[in-house]
Structure 1
Amino acid sequence: MVLVQALSYTALAVVAALVGGVVAVYRPPGPQMESNVQHFAAGVVTAAVAAELLPEVHERAPQVVVLGFAIGVVTMLGIHRLSKTIEKRDVGGQFAGAAGLLITVGIDMLIDGVLIGVTFLDNPDTGVIIAVALAIEVLFLGVAGVVALPQGMGVLRKLSVPAVFGLLLASGVTGGVLLLEGVTGAPIAVILAFGSAALLYLVTEELLVKAGKVPETPVSTTLFFVGFLSIFLLDMFH
């Protein structure tokens, strides 16, 4: 069953989110280490989109790719503006300082989950690679979500944040598979193109922007390309 297979690989990302949260609570990474992880994750996600998602969809429906990609960009810009508005209005009570980030990541987790589910419906081999790539991305997001929380917050409450990220991801996978199973053609192509735009937005406007706040080093730059190449190696041996 596709849903079981998709959720079994999504479990990697759920565990990665929790591991990231635990690391952030007990041994938060320094700025340089965080930048290194961001570079690696950016390379992995970029390769997954460039090598696995867009080429396959583009061959089948190039016009649809443009439409889905445009919708994805507009959606992510809207989510970004929403997060900024929430931060300015100081919404969220105890989570006020991190509310914008948490809501943005939460929506991104739902989108990523749907993307994983759809890729497993379309091509299970591609689904495995996307799930692994997103597990690395989610590891960083688990760290970022916990680091953004107030210092005085309890450990269990902090760890509830990456746990919710994982739940949203699994919910997106479940919803994507159940709602779109049996659907083929243009609707699937639109969703894959939409998801590709969302992932590239995350790379360019979140991962690399935050990584750029720390001076570049040969190690961090190299890790981007190591992450990129790792997807090709995974594809070769899968």
Structure 2
Amino acid sequence: MVLTQALSYTALAVVAAMVGGVIAITYPPDAQMESNIQHFAAGVVIAAVAAELLPEVHERAPLIVVLGFTIGVVTMLGIHKLSETIEKREFGGHFASASGLLITVCIDMLIDGVLIGVTFLNNPDTGAIIAVALAIEVLFLGVAGVVALPNDLGVARKLAVPAVFGLLLTVGVTGGVLALDGVTGAPIAIILAFGSAALLYLVTEELLVKAGKVPETPVSTTLFFVGFLTIFLLDMLH
């Protein structure tokens, strides 16, 4: 029952990834549009963490929270380092120019999937909000993944990238629910703290850093708060 519910919400993110890929192929966004999307996605993710994950984490033992956050930050720093190493060594053939980004996103999809699964086990209402927030994040990642690919790749091969993102997210959800069903206490608290740190890292070190390469505009700044309010109000009305 929980797995079915979690996968039904995860389907939103799977569809969002494919929509992002189609948008990137049909109407490739310029730098300013990408920055606007990144600001909106950043607001969405921060709101999801603030409204859903942090209240759950706040109730746990401080040592458990510190451990989960530390593991989350170290993991994301490791993924970032891996991405840089892969890009410098130009692995991946046709995908060499984007291999670092693609591998980073693929790992992130697995982590996000596990987080969705765990939040549904812990609190289905929280899981629903997190799944919606991550669907918006995945929409952007679908765009970013396709934009990073070489122009001479065919449409089918380009769309295979967001399809893989969706598949890995689904695998993460399924694995998280099946492996942790019935588990309570410290393991769940560590995963929630880990997920909070991972998502905050995504916002501060990925989305906003990349968005900052384009001069800020009133529209991009406003979209950050629109994204935040969208999830915050959705949480209030849920």
What is the aligned partner in structure 1 of residue 42 from structure 2?
A: 42
How far apart, CA to CA, are the structure 2 residues paired with 1:201 and 1:57?
Answer: 17
2:16 maps to a residue whose letter is A
What is the aligned partner in structure 2 of residue 89 from structure 1?
A: 89
Q: CA deviation at 1:48?
A: 0.6
The question of 1:13 aligning with 2:13 is answered: yes
What is the aligned partner in structure 2 of residue 206 from structure 1?
A: 206
Quote the RMSD (CA, aligned, Å): 0.7
Query: Which segment is superposed worse, 198-207 or 153-162?
Result: 198-207
What is the aligned partner in structure 2 of residue 136 from structure 1?
A: 136
How far apart, CA to CA, are the structure 1 residues paired with 2:149 and 2:236?
Answer: 40
The size of the alignment, in residue pairs, is 238
The question of 1:187 aligning with 2:187 is answered: yes
- Per-residue CA distance 1:187-207 (angstroms, 9 max, x = gap): 000001101111111111111
How far apart, CA to CA, are the structure 2 residues paired with 1:104 and 1:232?
Answer: 28
Q: CA deviation at 1:63?
A: 2.1
1:68-217 correspondence runs (5 A) = 68-217=68-217
| Preserved CA contact (<8 Å) 2:42 2:207 | yes
1:19-38 correspondence runs (5 A) = 19-38=19-38
1:76 maps to a residue whose letter is M
How far apart, CA to CA, are the structure 1 residues paired with 2:197 and 2:59?
Answer: 17
Secondary structure of the corresponding residue to residue 216 of structure 1: coil
Secondary structure of the corresponding residue to residue 59 of structure 2: helix
Q: CA deviation at 1:29?
A: 1.1
- Per-residue CA distance 1:112-147 (angstroms, 9 max, x = gap): 000000000000000000000000000000000000
Secondary structure of the corresponding residue to residue 225 of structure 1: helix
How far apart, CA to CA, are the structure 2 residues paired with 1:199 and 1:225?
Answer: 17
How far apart, CA to CA, are the structure 2 residues paired with 1:232 and 1:89?
Answer: 42
| Preserved CA contact (<8 Å) 2:112 2:169 | yes
How far apart, CA to CA, are the structure 2 residues paired with 1:82 and 1:152?
Answer: 26
How far apart, CA to CA, are the structure 2 residues paired with 1:53 and 1:63?
Answer: 17
Segments of 5+ residues of structure 1 without an aligned counterpart are: none
2:109 maps to a residue whose letter is M
How far apart, CA to CA, are the structure 1 residues paired with 2:160 and 2:135?
Answer: 18
The question of 1:62 aligning with 2:69 is answered: no
Segments of 5+ residues of structure 2 without an aligned counterpart are: none
2:113 maps to a residue whose letter is G
How far apart, CA to CA, are the structure 2 residues paired with 1:83 and 1:217?
Answer: 29
TM-score (norm. length: structure 1): 0.99
Q: CA deviation at 1:55?
A: 1.7
| Preserved CA contact (<8 Å) 2:51 2:235 | no
How far apart, CA to CA, are the structure 1 residues paired with 2:177 and 2:81?
Answer: 29
How far apart, CA to CA, are the structure 1 residues paired with 2:90 and 2:33?
Answer: 30
| TM superposition outliers: structure 1 runs of 4+ over 3 Å | none
TM-score (norm. length: structure 2): 0.99
Q: Once the two structures are aligned, what percentage of the paired residues are identical?
A: 85
Q: CA deviation at 1:159?
A: 0.2
